[in-house]
Amino acid sequence: MSPSRKVNAGGILFFEALAEIGPGCHLRHKRYNSKSDESDPRVGAIRSSPYSEKRHYMSSISPLAGQRAATSSLTDVPVLVSSYYSLRPDAGIASHQVAFGTSGHRGSSLSYSFNEWHVLAITQAICDYRAENNISGPLFIGIDTHALSAPAFASALEVLAANGVQTMVSRGTPYTPTPAISHAILMHNRMHPSALADGIVITPSHNPPDNGGFKYNTPNGGPADTNVTNWIEKRANVYLQSAVRDVKRIPYDRALRAASTHQYDYLETYINDLPNIIDLSAIRDAGISIGVDPLGGAGVHYWGAIADRYDLRLTVVNREVDPTFRFVPLDWDAQIRMDPSSQYAMRELISLKDKFDIAFACDTDHDRHGIVTKSVGLMPSNHFLSAAVSYLFQHRPEWRADTGVGKTLVSSQMIDRVAAQLHRPLQEMPIGFKWFVDGLQDGSLGFGCEESAGASFLRFDGTPWSTDKDGITAALLAAEMTARTGRDPGEIYRGLTEQLGLPCNGRIEAAATPEQKKLLSKLSADNVHSTQLAGEEIRQILTTAPANDKAFGGVKIVSDNGWFAARPSGTEHIYKIYAESFRDEKHLDSIFYEAQEIVSAALAAG
């Protein structure tokens, strides 16, 4: 970690940390903690630049980051699970209500935001939605390894069975990765188009151990669109208001034995199909050594089975499952997060990088990936995504000539440059993987990706594999790239920067109240009073995504060699500013400064 400095800007404390990622450039991931001047209506806003004295930083990173948690600080699982059943949310309190963010409903039983009533209400609402939309096929359901996932599964199955929904539960292993659910939905619907299936994934993704989460995937295999989640959310809150009295349910033991409950071998079905998307023979024949850390997640039993089935030199470095996740090093703020893109959570795998030709990890539901190479260590997600696009479109000859690349507005413009180099169309979407589902399903997108280390791509023949994020195939793709090119993805990315330029990019975050988030979501061109961004002419001011004209709840400003996007988080009480420069770090600092000025003005105007 570089030297550091603390800046006090009018009562707001800003901290930043600098991590070296390559020659001549740095990746910034700045977390800003508000210290309060409660009388200031702009608490949490950024009102002066913390970049004026470069390379003099004081890190906000906890000194415990990268270390394992003390036993005394681990989640008390018995208390967490008992709270799931014993605490009753108050539907009149906003924080207790069902609320679907960008990735389903999430919360903790300890804060009345993920309790039995929530799951009962959401599941009944999904049953109602299925009935109203004539979804008559089976519902595929799976869980991750969070402590609240198993209780939530029991609650959901009680409702599904009472409603007579044909429900496919996992056979063999209790845990099911998100992509295995999406894959199963697509497999069924390809063969049974007159009785379409859908799915539920019980996971809060990489969130801390005391969290629970509940996602609904529609018959297209991907995350439900906003109009669907809004309908389910509204209906679920009606059930919550009536203390779930109108929810149909039967006891769990009866639900397990119900004629509508069926076992489905997700693991075998998914693994048997892998040769249709990954060149496993090339990985085997190259004899490369692979290290995998499942981070205690839902794919923990998949990796060994993949290695055995396809004779790969693959070592699972940690097979442990423990709902406290005590084996995952603490993240930047001393919280446990199973985030494979975090240099802190990934520290133990990073330390093993020289023992393997390629190594990787996935988050708890295995829809995100983290790639560790000998050449650079943990790859920033934008770097791997750029390298993956370059590789895939040169090694998938059966894909249609018009098949394109999908990315979110806040992903690196290096992806744009790679797509242009390959003469492939680019679709720039709002934040959320749901926006890539249609393109992956109809083959107009060969690859869809988010800057938060989520991606999915087509089979060799150009048909869909998973329309949700798939961390397993993304990780195996890194092994295929290494095996077939003789270069790891870090080396491939370095080659791209030599051709297309070396971007400097990063993200800053700051606390924001719900009221401030509403103000920030209304940012528009009217908030921009300059014709230039960091000395360059502004080419675009976007409040909707170019690919589908959907609002993304913020603003993006683009010049020839840089851009920034500002938006409130959909899942946390923070706002985020993303920025990138293809010139240098000084230019990036200028972009961040001007972005902060726009955000501050918007908050002040409110």
Residues assigned a catalytic role: 205
Closest C-alpha to 345, from 67, 52, 45: 67
> Rounded to 5 degrees, what are φ and ψ at 593?
-60, -50
Give the DSSP letter string of 326-376: TTSPP-TTS-----TT-TTTTHHHHTTGGGSSEEEEE-TTS-BEEEEETTT
Closest C-alpha to 436, from 416, 460, 465, 400: 465
Q: What CA dihedral angle connects 333, 334, 335 and 338, to 10 degrees? A: 90
426/420 Cα distance (integer angstroms): 8
Q: Are strands 445-450 and 404-408 parallel, antiparallel or unpaired?
A: parallel
- Alpha helices by DSSP H, listed for 512-583, are 514-521
Q: 10 in the Ramachandran plot: left (φ > 0), alpha (ψ -120 to 50) or beta?
A: left
- Output Rg (C-alpha) for the chain, integer angstroms: 23
Residue 359 in contact with residue 353, Cβ under 8 Å? Answer: yes
Closest C-alpha to 218, from 209, 208, 228: 228
456/433 Cα distance (integer angstroms): 9
DSSP-derived letter for residue 224 is: P
SS3 content of the chain, % helix, strand, coil (to 5): 35, 20, 45
Of how many residues is the chain composed? 606
Residue 518 in contact with residue 569, Cβ under 8 Å? Answer: no
